[in-house]
Amino acid sequence: MSLSRILRKPKGNTCYTADNRWVLPNQLIGYEAEYEGVTDRFLPDHTYANHFVYHAETSLKDAGAEFVFTQPLFGADSWNAIHWLTSYAAEQKWKCTKRTGIHIHLDVRDLEVNQLTGLCLLYAALEPIIYRWIGGSRETSHFCIPLYKADDTLLKVCKIIRSAYGDEKAGTNNAVKIAESMAEERYAGLNPNSLAKFGTLEFRHLETTHKFDRIVDWINIIMSLKATAYKLPQSDGSVIRLIEQLGTKDLLDFVFPGPLVRQLYTEESSRLIFEVGIPSARDIAVHGCQPLSWEKFQFPKGEHGGFAKWIKSAEGNRQEKGKKHEELVVFDDFNDMDEELDEPPIQAPPLIEEPLFQNAQNIFWGNVNAPIEQAEVREAQAPNQEQLARAWARLNDMNRGRGEARIVPVPAPRPRR
Amino acid sequence: MLLRPCDVENISDFNRYYTNSWVGYHEDPDSEKILPAFVSNPGTGTSTALKFLTKKGGSWQLGSWNMLTLEDLEKHLDFGRPNIGMVDDGPTVVFLSYSTPRAPSKGLRTRDARINNFNDHEIYRYRTPRSSERYDWIYHAFNPAYLNLDEALKQLNNGEKIGVALSPVLALFTSSTSKFPVLAYKRWSIGYLQDKTAILNPQYQEYAEPVAKQLQVKVAV
C-alpha cells in the first residue's frame, strides 16, 4: 500500500488539462456512483483510483457502496477517472440495479443569477424528454423525482431563484438558507440542496451502468444545458417564448450537439416539452423571476350568488341535524327520563309542605350515582303512615333501577347540659 | 392505456417499498378506469396482498385481501405515484402536490401530499373533517374527473358546488368575497371569470395562454 493511502493524502495525480470530448472542456464536476455486490470496497492502488473515496450507502442492498470524487475534477482528469471506475466495476462484476444511481454535481459557482435562472428554466422545459432518454423506471423512482411531479419542490426552486435575485441586490444570503432547508427534500432529479453544500446542482437521474459512453452522454447533456444558459439573451418568461418560437427540433439543435439530438428526439418530444415541461418552466418564470408584487388586484366585491345559496342550504342542513341531535341528547334530569319512558310524570316534589322533606338537611344523598342503599333519609320527626308511604313510593320511583330506598331513623339529639 | 413499468426487482422489494401506500390497479389493462389498491399486508415470499377501494351505497369500502404475484402486478399495476393536482373535496376542490422527501415508500400516500385549499375557511362548519387517508381524495387522484366550463358554471351558480376542478391545474371556486367565480391555477388564485372572460392579476399574466387554451375563453390582464 502506498504511503499516500496510509497518510490519506492523495498523490499528485491530476493533469489539469481541458478535454474537448466534454461539451464544456473546463467544467468542474462531482461524480457519485452507486453499486451493489461490492465485496471488496478497497480500490486497488492506481493513479485514477485515488480520485475516489468510498461512502457507505444504507439505501442499497447486497453490499451496496458509493464511490465519490475526492474533489471536483474537470477535463481529462474527470474523463480518465470515470472511465477507470466504470471499467473496474464491470471487471469486478459489481451490480447495477434499479436501486443504484449515478449522481453528477455540476459546478455553478461561475454562473450569475440570471444564468442560473436560465439553466433552471431550460432544464424544467426539457425535463420530460431527459427522463424519456434516461428510460427504465427512473421517472417513478423515489430517489430522483421529476420537478413536474413534485410541485412543492418546484416552488422551492422558485424561492431559491427569487431569493438569489434579492441577495444580489441586498448582499444577504437567503438563497443559501432556503437551499439548506431542503436537506430532507433533496430526492428530486435536480437537487438544489447541493447549492448550499457545494455550490453545485446535483443531477440524480441516471441509473448506474457499466456503459461508459452512456455516462459520457449524460454528462454532456448536463453540460449542454449550462452551455446554453451562457448564451441565453435573458432569463425570464422570454426563454419560454424563445422555446415556443423555436419549436422542438430547432430547440434541441440549439441546446445539444448533433449526436445527442438524435438520441433525445422522439415523436413524443414535442408533446412532452409543450404539455409537461413548459408548464413547470412557466411556474419558475412567474414565481422565481419576478419580485413579489403587492399591487392591488381587487376581486369584484360582493358575495357570489351560488356561494350564498350553498351556505344557506348547508346552514339549513346543519340546523336540522342539530335538532335531531338535541332530541337524542343524554337526559340530564329525571323528568326527561320519565317523558321518554311514557310514564306519568312525577308530581312536583311536595318537599315544602311535608315535614319529611321540609328542610334540605333532612335529605342526605351520599352519592347520587351510588346505589340507594348508601343514601340516607334522615327523619327529623316521625311522619304519619300516609306520609311515609308516599315518601317511600317517591324515593323508589326516583331511583328506579338503583336499588331500594330505606329510611334511617335519626337518633334523638342528646340533651344539652 | 400505457402503464408505468415495474420499478421493483422482486416481490420482496415490492412489499418493502409499497407497504402502506396506494397503487393503481387496472382490471382491464386497456381500460382507463383504475381501481385504487392499498398495500398493507407484507404478503408472503411469492405474493403480496392488496385491498381494493370501492364505492358501495354512497360510502367507500376497502375490500378483503387479494393475493397477487409479481406477474399479476406487472400485468395490471400502474407503478409509481399517480399524477395528482386538483381533487374534488366534497362541495369544493383542493390542490394536492408532492414534495421530494426521503420517503421509505413508493406509491400514493396522501398524508405526504401538501394540501392547498381555496374557500375552506368559509365552510369549515359544514365540510367533512380532514383526515390523513381520505378515500374520496384517493379515488379522485387515481380517477380524476374534470368538468367543462359550462357545466362547472352551472353547478357553481346553482349552489350545487362551491368549487370545481377543470383540469389537473385549473379550478373555479366561489366565495363570499368575490362576486364572480375565482380562477385558481395550481395553488394560486390568479383572477376571476366574468361573462366568459378571464380577468387575470397582472402578476400572473404568464398563465394567460394555458387559461385561454384550456377554457376557450377570452383573457384580459
pLDDT in tens, A321-359: 777 766 655 444 445 544 455 555 555 444 444 444 444
Nearest residue to A158 via CA among A287, A72, A42: A287
- The dihedral region occupied by A123, where left means phi > 0, alpha psi between -120 and 50, and beta the remainder, is alpha
Q: Between these two residues, A141 and B188, which has the higher pLDDT value?
A: B188
* Record: contact A141-B7, CB cut-off 8 A: yes
The strand order across the sheet containing A407-409 reads: A363-364, A376-379, A407-409
> For position A363, what pLDDT does the model report?
46
Q: C-alpha A227: how far from its chain's center? A: 32
Cα end-to-end span (Å), chain B: 39
Contact B119, B162 (CB under 8 A): yes
Among the partner residues A150, A279, A306, nearest to B174 by beta-carbon distance? A306
Average pLDDT of the residues in B166-192: 93
Average pLDDT of the residues in A129-146: 89
Instruction: Give dist(CA B212, CA B206) in Å, integer.
Output: 11
Chain A residue whose CA is closest to B18: A142
* Record: contact A187-B178, CB cut-off 8 A: no
For residue range A175-215, list pLDDT tens digits in order.
999 999 988 888 899 999 999 999 999 999 999 999 999 99
In the numeric block, the cell 366574468 is attached to B194
Query: Number of C-alpha atoms within 13 angstroms, CB side, residue A181?
Result: 11
Q: What is the CA radius of gyration of chain B?
A: 19
- Percent of chain B whose pLDDT exceeds 70: 95
Amino acid letter for position B180: F
Please, what is the angle between helix A75-92 and helix A212-231, to 10°?
150
For residue range B122-167, list pLDDT tens digits in order.
888 887 777 667 888 888 888 888 999 999 999 999 999 999 999 9
Residue A361, pLDDT above cutoff 50 = no
A58: cell is 444504507
> For position A364, what pLDDT does the model report?
45
CB pairs under 8 A between A and B: 151
> For position B163, what pLDDT does the model report?
93
Nearest residue to B206 via CA among A335, A47, A397, A288: A288
Which chain B residues touch A186 with a CB distance below 8 Å?
100, 102
A321: cell is 341535524
> For position B161, what pLDDT does the model report?
92
Q: What angle do CA B116, B179, A297 make, to 5 degrees?
A: 65
Among the partner residues B98, B119, B177, nearest to A152 by beta-carbon distance? B98
Residue A157, pLDDT above cutoff 50 = yes
Reported in sequence order, the residue ranges of A240-347 that DSSP labels E, i.e. its strands, are none
Query: Taking all residues of chain A, what is their mean pLDDT, rounded to a whole number?
Result: 82
Contact B97, B84 (CB under 8 A): yes
**pTM, 2 dp:** 0.80
Residue B3, pLDDT above cutoff 80 = no
Which three-class secondary structure state does DSSP give residue B49?
A: strand
Average pLDDT of the residues in A78-106: 95
* Record: contact A300-B192, CB cut-off 8 A: yes
> For position A406, what pLDDT does the model report?
58
> For position B72, what pLDDT does the model report?
87
Residue A273, pLDDT above cutoff 70 = yes
User: What is the nearest CA distance from B167 to chain A, expressed in angstroms?
Assistant: 13
Average pLDDT of the residues in A16-33: 94
Q: Check CB contact of A299 with chain B, cutoff 8 Å.
A: yes
> For position A276, what pLDDT does the model report?
92
Which chain B residues touch A142 with a CB distance below 8 Å?
17, 103, 105-106
The strand order across the sheet containing B218-220 reads: B163-165, B170-173, B182-185, B188-194, B197-200, B218-220
Chain B residue whose CA is closest to A138: B7
Chain A residue whose CA is closest to B204: A286
Q: Check CB contact of A332 with chain B, cutoff 8 Å.
A: no
* Record: contact B103-A302, CB cut-off 8 A: no
User: What is the nearest CA distance from A46 to chain B, expressed in angstroms?
Assistant: 34
Which chain B residues touch A309 with a CB distance below 8 Å?
158-159
* Record: contact B177-A303, CB cut-off 8 A: yes
- Percent of chain A whose pLDDT exceeds 90: 49
Among the partner residues A140, A290, A303, nearest to B79 by beta-carbon distance? A140
Mutation for testing the B interface, residue in A205, A299, A317 having most B CBs under 10 Å: A299
Q: Which residues contact B200 (CB under 8 A, 6 or more apart)?
A: B183, B190, B191, B207, B208, B211, B219, B220, B221
Contact A234, A114 (CB under 8 A): yes
User: What is the nearest CA distance from A159 to chain B, expressed in angstroms?
Assistant: 14
> For position A410, what pLDDT does the model report?
61
Query: Number of C-alpha atoms within 13 angstroms, CB side, residue A97?
Result: 18
Average pLDDT of the residues in A113-134: 94
Task: Kindly report which listed range (A46-50, A137-141, A241-245) carries the lowest average pLDDT score.
Answer: A137-141
Instruction: Give dist(CA B88, CA B134) in Å, integer.
Output: 11
- Core vs surface per residue B143-170: b (16+ CB within 10 A) or e: ebebbebeebbebbbebebbbbbbbbbb
Residue A158, pLDDT above cutoff 80 = yes
Average pLDDT of the residues in A96-110: 94
* Record: contact B103-A285, CB cut-off 8 A: no
Instruction: Give dist(CA B165, CA B58) in Å, integer.
Output: 21
Residue A374, pLDDT above cutoff 50 = no
Mutation for testing the B interface, residue in A61, A202, A310 having most B CBs under 10 Å: A310
- Percent of chain A whose pLDDT exceeds 70: 80
Q: Which residues contact A243 (CB under 8 A, 6 or more apart)?
A: A125, A251, A273, A278, A281
Instruction: Give dist(CA B110, CA A276) in Å, integer.
Output: 23
* Record: contact B159-A300, CB cut-off 8 A: no
Q: Is A170 exposed, middle or buried (0-12, 13-18, 19+ CB in 10 A)?
A: exposed
Residue A318, pLDDT above cutoff 60 = yes
For residue range B75-122, list pLDDT tens digits in order.
888 888 888 899 888 889 999 998 888 766 788 888 788 888 898 888
* Record: contact B100-A186, CB cut-off 8 A: yes
> For position B34, what pLDDT does the model report?
85
Which chain B residues touch A315 with a CB distance below 8 Å?
126
Average pLDDT of the residues in A147-169: 91
Contact B181, B140 (CB under 8 A): no
Q: Which residues contact A380 (CB under 8 A, 6 or more apart)?
A: A355, A356, A358, A359, A362, A410
- Give CA torsion, residues A150, A156, A160, A166, to 10 deg: 140
Which three-class secondary structure state does DSSP give residue A191?
A: strand
> For position A147, what pLDDT does the model report?
93
Q: Are strands B170-173 and B218-220 parallel, antiparallel or unpaired?
A: unpaired
Among the partner residues A187, A301, A318, nearest to B100 by beta-carbon distance? A187
pLDDT band of B66, cuts 50, 70, 90: confident
Q: Is A21 exposed, middle or buried (0-12, 13-18, 19+ CB in 10 A)?
A: exposed
Greatest Cα-to-Cα distance within chain A, rounded to the nearest angstrom: 123
* Record: contact B79-A97, CB cut-off 8 A: no
Instruction: Give dist(CA A187, CA A295) in Å, integer.
Output: 36
Which chain A residues touch B174 with a CB distance below 8 Å?
304, 306-307, 310
A225: cell is 444545458
Q: Check CB contact of A306 with chain B, cutoff 8 Å.
A: yes
> For position B167, what pLDDT does the model report?
93
Instruction: Give dist(CA B170, CA B147) in Å, integer.
Output: 11
* Record: contact B100-A299, CB cut-off 8 A: no
User: What is the nearest CA distance from B128 to chain A, expressed in angstroms?
Assistant: 12
User: What is the nearest CA distance from B175 to chain A, expressed in angstroms?
Assistant: 6
DSSP for A307-337, please give it: HHHHHHHHHHHHHHHHHHHHHTSPP-SHHHH
User: What is the nearest CA distance from A292 to chain B, expressed in angstroms?
Assistant: 9
pLDDT band of A371, cuts 50, 70, 90: very low
Among the partner residues B4, B192, B207, nearest to A140 by beta-carbon distance? B4
> For position A351, what pLDDT does the model report?
44
Q: Check CB contact of A294 with chain B, cutoff 8 Å.
A: no
Cα end-to-end span (Å), chain A: 112
Q: Check CB contact of A236 with chain B, cutoff 8 Å.
A: no
Q: Mean pLDDT: which of A140-154, A196-210, A320-334, B57-71 is highest? A: A196-210
> For position A367, what pLDDT does the model report?
45
Chain A residue whose CA is closest to B85: A151
A85: cell is 471506475
Residue A46, pLDDT above cutoff 90 = no
* Record: contact B169-A307, CB cut-off 8 A: no
pLDDT band of B1, cuts 50, 70, 90: low
Reported in sequence order, the residue ranges of chain B that DSSP labels E, i.e. its strands, are 21-25, 35-41, 47-56, 59-62, 66-69, 77-78, 86-89, 92-97, 114-117, 163-165, 170-173, 182-185, 188-194, 197-200, 218-220
Q: What angle do CA B134, B139, B141 make, to 5 degrees?
A: 95
Which chain B residues touch A153 with a CB distance below 8 Å?
98-100
* Record: contact B178-A300, CB cut-off 8 A: yes
